[in-house]
Each structure stands twice: as C-alpha cells, then as structure tokens.
C-alpha cells in the first residue's frame, strides 16, 4: 500500500474506532467530516499553502449539557490514529502541541459556521470544547493499554490561541471507556444503562434538572470515576466504574461518594475496579465498610471487577 493510501486507510480506521466509542458514550448522531471556513486567515495561515484556509473536524457532537444549566455544548473531536506513540517524552509533547494547535484554531473559527449557530431548546449559553483521540493502532499485546497522558503534564503554547478546554483520550483511556461501558451493557442490558448526572454546582435549576440519561457528559471523558444509573423495573442501582486499581482507602472515598449520590435515589450500589478479586480483596472491603455507621447502606454495596475472567465473581 502506497504511503498516501496507507495514511488515508489509517485515518478511516481511526475514525471508525472513535465512532464506536462515541456510540458507547451515547453520542450516536455526531456530525462527521465537518469543514469550518477560517475567519482568522492571517493568524491561521499555513506555511507554503496557496489553498484557501479551512479547518477539517472529524466529528462534532452537540447536546444540551446536564451538568450546566441552560447550556448548549459543542464538542469538536479530532482523531489522530498512528502506528505507535513517540518514543520520548519530548516527542510526545511536541506532537501533542501540534494536535492541540490544529484543534484550537478550528475551535476559534467554529462559532462562525452554520452548525454552531443551530439552537437547542431551553439553552441560552454556549460552550465549545475540544476532544482529541490519539490512538496507537498497533495490535501487539499490551499496546491497547499504552498511555501518553502522564508524559504530557503541563506545557506552554507559544502560539496565541483561545479555547476553553481540550481533553485527550489515548489508548489507555479509550480502553477504560470501552471495557467499562461494554461490560455494563452486557451485564444489565443496553436499555437499562444510563449515565448518572452529578451535582456540579452549575446545574442547580430544579425545573430543568435531569439526574440520568443516555448521553455521557464531556466532563466525564477524562474522569477516573464514572457514575452510571442502572434501572431494571423497580430495581435501581448506582454503578460506579473506576479507572484506577483497587485499594481500601480509595474504596472508602468511593463509598462516601456513593452515600452522597444515593441519598434520595437508590439503596443499591455497585463499585467496579479493573483489578478487583474477591479472594484477594474481600477482607479489605469488609474493613472499608466497617468505617461507616450506616450498616443498612453498606450492606447493599457490592464490589466487583468490570474485567472478569473465569476466576472472578465466585465468592
């Protein structure tokens, strides 16, 4: 396969990977292949380019935020699918800056395009956010869990560009979202799984407040804790999916969070770690539960793994 054809094929492969993840997130009707005319031509001008400046965006998802009152949220999604990540930290930072600048320029011009001007009922505020999927397409064992997020840290953009937030999803984050959301859909049924919308202090309107729904908020994309609402007939359950490994102290904090979230909603709670094993961790769970006075509440908490094999969920 020639270089240009391979790059095109890799791009299409990456876009399909991301489309599948967006659908798991409930972003089913994202606009694909959006072109935004440039309104800052001199600032955004590319070297040695004679073509009219424009910005290509892989996906744009627009929705009414449930974490901010009366807010329309537009998320511009950029897909970068490569064979491997840069070998050095400086290489990672350099390439990420390139990706951020490209998306930030598109975000600066986006308000002028027709898609941005479309209104959503019951909104009077707008937020434009960016989301970069940086995917290593390699199929060797372990590469599905590769991460570059820790290598980036804080960095300074020399170029002047204005944007509110840009989030990054690498292989490790994409794998977490894929495994967690696929597991819950399989265990409880797709139709019974929704995202639980927490109180942020920005969604205080009692008239418009919604507590759960099929759309994953943008703010959850980089969160290590994702709350889900499971409903099956009269049975309701708070399911907390966790990206980090099991430990007793972390479990105690999550039980406290669950107690706060379920104060007016449900009595059943599931907390799921990637590496929980009932044989290894059962005593730690009992110790964590014993630090809470409300015995009725903690007795209705189960701790599981969302990455089970034939040895799990035995005890």
**Within its chain, how far is the Cα of 69 from the centroid?**
20
How far is it, in rounded angstroms, from Cα 11 to Cα 82? 8
Q: Give me the pLDDT at residue 206, please.
A: 62
Residues ≥6 apart with Cβ < 8 Å to 123: 64, 70, 71, 72
Place of tokens 């998802």: 61
Q: Output the furthest CA–CA distance in the chain (Å, rounded).
A: 70
Q: Give me the pLDDT at residue 310, please.
A: 84
Q: Residue 28 has which token pair?
A: 């089913």
Q: Give me the pLDDT at residue 207, please.
A: 74
Q: Give me the pLDDT at residue 7, please.
A: 60
How far is it, in rounded angstroms, from Cα 117 to Cα 120? 10
Q: Give me the pLDDT at residue 4, please.
A: 53
Q: Give me the pLDDT at residue 315, please.
A: 52
Strands 71-82 and 125-136: parallel
Q: Give me the pLDDT at residue 192, please.
A: 97
118: burial class by Cβ within 10 Å (0-12, 13-18, 19+)? exposed
**Does residue 103 sit in helix, strand or coil?**
helix
Helix (H) or strand (E) run with residue 126 in it: strand 125-136
Model pTM score: 0.92
Q: Give pLDDT tens digits along the chain (315 positions).
A: 455 555 667 789 999 999 999 999 999 999 999 999 998 877 887 766 666 688 999 999 999 999 999 999 999 999 999 999 999 999 999 999 999 999 999 999 999 999 999 999 999 999 999 999 999 998 787 788 899 998 997 766 666 777 889 999 999 999 999 999 999 999 999 999 999 999 999 988 767 788 899 999 999 999 999 999 999 888 899 999 999 999 999 999 999 999 999 887 777 999 999 999 999 999 999 999 999 999 989 999 999 999 998 877 655
Q: Evaluate whether 312 touches 278 at the Cβ level (below 8 Å).
A: yes
Q: Give me the pLDDT at residue 205, please.
A: 75
**Within its chain, how far is the Cα of 140 from the centroid?**
24
């Amino acid at each position: 396969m020639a270089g240009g054809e391979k790059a095109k094929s890799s791009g299409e492969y990456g876009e399909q990977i991301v489309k599948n993840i967006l659908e798991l997130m409930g972003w089913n009707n994202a606009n694909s292949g959006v072109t935004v005319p440039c309104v800052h031509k001199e600032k955004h001008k590319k070297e040695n380019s004679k073509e009219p400046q424009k910005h290509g965006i892989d996906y744009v998802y627009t929705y009414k935020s449930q974490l901010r009152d009366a807010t329309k949220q537009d998320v511009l999604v950029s897909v970068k699918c490569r064979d491997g990540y840069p070998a050095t930290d400086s290489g990672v930072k350099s390439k990420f800056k390139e990706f951020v600048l490209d998306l930030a320029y598109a975000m600066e011009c986006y308000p002028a395009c027709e898609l941005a001007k479309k209104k959503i009922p019951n909104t009077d505020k707008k937020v434009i956010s960016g989301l970069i999927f940086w995917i290593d397409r390699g199929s060797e064992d372990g590469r599905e869990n590769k991460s570059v997020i820790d290598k980036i840290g804080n960095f300074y953009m020399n170029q002047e560009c204005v944007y509110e937030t840009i989030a990054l999803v690498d292989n490790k984050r994409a794998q977490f979202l894929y495994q967690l959301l696929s597991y819950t859909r399989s265990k409880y049924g797709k139709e019974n799984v929704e995202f639980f919308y927490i109180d942020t202090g920005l969604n205080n309107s009692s008239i418009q407040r919604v507590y759960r729904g099929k759309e994953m908020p943008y703010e959850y994309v980089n969160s290590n804790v994702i709350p889900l609402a499971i409903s099956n007939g009269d049975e309701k359950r708070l399911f907390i999916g966790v990206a980090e490994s099991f430990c007793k102290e972390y479990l105690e904090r999550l039980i406290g969070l669950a107690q706060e979230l379920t104060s007016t909603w449900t009595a059943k709670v599931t907390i799921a770690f990637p590496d929980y094993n009932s044989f290894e961790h059962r005593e730690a769970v009992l110790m964590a539960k014993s630090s809470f006075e409300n015995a009725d509440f903690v007795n209705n908490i189960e701790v599981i793994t969302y990455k089970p094999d034939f040895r799990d969920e035995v005890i």
